Chain A
Amino acid sequence: MTIAAVAPVAGATRRRSKAHQWKGLLYIAPAMVLVLVFFVLPVLFTVWMSFHNWPLMGQPKWIGLRNYSRMLSDTRFLSAIGFTAFYTVIVTVAIFALAFPLALFVERERRGVGVYRSIFFLPVVVGLATASLLWTWLANVDSGLFSPALRALGLTEHSINLLATFEGAFTTIVVMVVWKIVGFTMILLLTGLQAIPSDLTEAARIDGAGRWQRFRHLTLPLMRRTLALALILSITGSVLAFDQFYIMTSGGPQNSMISVVYYIFNQSFVSFHLGYGAALSIVLLIALVALSVAQLWLLRVEDER
């Protein structure tokens, strides 16, 4: 750039920089194409399909809202919702009940704490399908670990088939999921704990606040943001549960463990009621978006305080 022709060059620069800025669109184009083709389009397509009777072969037929009205009297779907809600509550409570003590444990800067953090976290990086398979073996009545070990220790007289009853299978799955997920929640809570200024806790201690009082009136309120995030993540993860039921019990015993995603899978890919499956998917989608909105709202309220 020369000083001699200031005015025209300035105009050219602006023009060039404008063209230059448009180049940004080129950089984001691959990402946009993927998101549009493999996400936005499928979402719109799901909505469209949900208004049809859509068989695997042959012509789809427009049936308006009938897929949605059918849901209301679909007792198997309603019981899938009931089961998923029950599972979500139990798993979330169990994870928090264990994650909090673990987070408090690994928060203390002592020798070996890094090793403990890593070990508690290990199951998180393994796939849920892998973990389900591993625990299916451990819970097997003849060739597994739990039942033979209990017998060998003389705690039970007969072998117990954990996966054959609802109570046994449900407990096994909850323990497996807690084992697999709790390290993740622990690390989230740990970041929340570490964000609390230590002079605050110190001041409270000097003022004579006991351990429980400090936890109740200082730690918990200051961690509300982290708690909200961990809670929402735990809930969304549980609502979408599929792998563990499919692999560990095939939805049994007596179809008592069909989660919502499992039911959609059955309708769409086993019975090939693609239109009905799409309508069910839309309901799931709305529920999950509502959860995300609730999360944003919770966090926003926090910011204003």
Chain B
Amino acid sequence: MSAAAKARRHRRRLWGSLGYHGFGVLASLFFLAPFVWAGLASLRHGTESQSPPLPPWPTNGISFDAYAMLDTFGAGVWRHTFNSLLVSGGTVFLTVIVSLLAGYGFSRYRFPLKNALFVLIIATLMIPFQSILTPLFIILAKLGLNNSLLGLTLVYVTLQLPFSVFMMRNAFDAVPREIEEAARIDGARDFRLLVRVLLPLVMPGVATVAIFAFLNAWNEFLAALILLSDNDKYTLPVLMTAVRAGRLGAINWGAVQAGVMVMTIPCLLIFLALQRYYMRGLMAGAVK
């Protein structure tokens, strides 16, 4: 190959890669800009909060006025963050336990109506929970769980079950039966077998189930809006409707930016840290 041809080829590759990354960077800006803009704007001084974010970064020094302002809504931002964490953490905990047990049962045991019951759980995916909120409200009231974070948590756990039970059954199906038989001979039975021997082997599945449970519970809005009526009980998204509504016709945009950040940052951190498990869940859902 002549030197000129080599140089031409090199140049073409350079242009190709420039075009590729040029597009990539532009598209990345589109997806990142709203977060960055809100994050920077939330650090501006309280007096700047109503002016347009041009430029978005604080010009009078960094301040946490926006977050202090957010704290004046409802029962304070700590309380509502705690509510959200309680509901999301509870949803993760219960979803993992319930789907772990159910996945094990569906994978390792044979009993009457097994397939019908499995299909029943999966089939709930077809029905939008938006259409059963009124009866849920009434049933929770009958159980004494209306306007309670526990009631909301149980609803969220139920909504997570089709995906989670499906994931966990597949996880158990992938564990060779020989391992169980060996453990059984060593005297491990039932519950101990499940916790001591099998749990470590299905941990990736548990991680996937936990991430989806957390994100869905943390982000859910409509059910929380309907099922929680007490100001103190609001989760973060419901609190934000009060911020959005404003006071005396004026919206405090600093508080909006701060609220968006408080709700966004945990999601982004969890996704970035556990991306592998998140994508696995997505693929499992897509292939199904």
Most buried by B among A38, A108, A136, A242: A38
Taking chain B's interface residues, is the majority helix, strand, or loop, or is none over half, making it mixed? helix
Bound-state CA distance A37–B136 (Å) is 9
Q: Which residues of B contact A38 (CB under 8 A)?
A: 136, 139, 154-155, 158
What 0/1 readout, one digit per residue, does chain A (112-131) give for beta carbons within 8 Å of chain B? 10001011111101111110
Q: Across the interface, do A35 and B121 meet the contact criterion of CB distance under 8 Å?
A: yes
Bound-state CA distance A133–B101 (Å) is 38
* Given A22-B111, A125-B215, A149-B54: A240 in contact with B130 (beta carbons within 8 A): yes
Residue from B104, B127, B154, B253 within 8 A of A143 (CB atoms): B253
Q: Which residues of A contact B130 (CB under 8 A)?
A: 240, 242, 261, 264, 281, 284
Q: How many of chain B's residues touch chain A, expressed as a range?
A: 35 or more
Residue from B27, B52, B244 within 8 A of A116 (CB atoms): B27
Scan residues 79-136 of chain B and give those whose CB is less than 8 A from a CB of chain A: 97-99, 101-102, 104-106, 108-111, 114, 117, 120-121, 124-128, 130-136
A137 to chain B, nearest CB (A): 5
Bound-state CA distance A23–B142 (Å) is 31
Does A171 belong to the interface (CB within 8 Å)? no
Scan residues 240-288 of chain B and give those whose CB is less than 8 A from a CB of chain A: 240-241, 244, 251, 253, 256-257, 259-260, 263-264, 267-268, 270-272, 275, 278-279, 282-283, 286-287
Bound-state CA distance A285–B283 (Å) is 27
Does B234 belong to the interface (CB within 8 Å)? no
What 0/1 readout, one digit per residue, does chain A (6-39) give for beta carbons within 8 Å of chain B? 0000000000000011111111101110110111
Besides A35-B124, A105-B20, 11 other A-B contacts (C-beta < 8 A):
A22-B111, A37-B158, A38-B136, A46-B131, A120-B28, A122-B35, A128-B219, A134-B260, A145-B37, A145-B54, A288-B131
Partner-A contacts on B (CB < 8 A):
17, 20-21, 23-24, 27-28, 30-32, 34-35, 37-38, 49-54, 97-99, 101-102, 104-106, 108-111, 114, 117, 120-121, 124-128, 130-136, 138-139, 154-155, 157-158, 161, 165, 190, 215, 218-222, 226, 237, 240-241, 244, 251, 253, 256-257, 259-260, 263-264, 267-268, 270-272, 275, 278-279, 282-283, 286-287
Q: List 17 A-B contacts (CB under 8 A).
A: A24-B105, A35-B121, A38-B139, A40-B120, A42-B136, A45-B132, A49-B135, A102-B27, A118-B275, A125-B270, A130-B260, A130-B267, A133-B240, A143-B49, A240-B130, A268-B134, A277-B134
